[in-house]
Amino acid sequence: METTHLSDNDLERYVTGLIHYDAELVWIEQHLHSCPECVDRMENMQDSADHLQADPRSMTDDDDPPVR
């Protein structure tokens, strides 16, 4: 049986609280309840979002020379 996974867009919207329809929220949460792979992806997105919120400067690459 092939499992259809949630899209990155769906997971990002879920992590950032941008799901506004109850039916869509239930659908995503039901899928996450039964799909460890999507849970892992969602947790990675959440970790990245938390890290960025804590220190936005951490997402820049200071080793690159300035663009002129």
Phi-psi region of 2 (alpha: psi -120 to 50; beta: other; left: phi over 0): beta
Q: What is the mean pLDDT of the chain?
A: 85
Residues 26-59 have pLDDT tens digits of 999 999 999 999 999 999 999 988 887 777 666 5
Tally of CA atoms within 13 A in the half-sphere of 68 that contains its CB? 1
Where are the domains positioned within the chain?
A: 1-45
- Residue 16: what pLDDT? 92
Using pLDDT thresholds of 50, 70 and 90, give the confidence band for residue 60. Answer: low
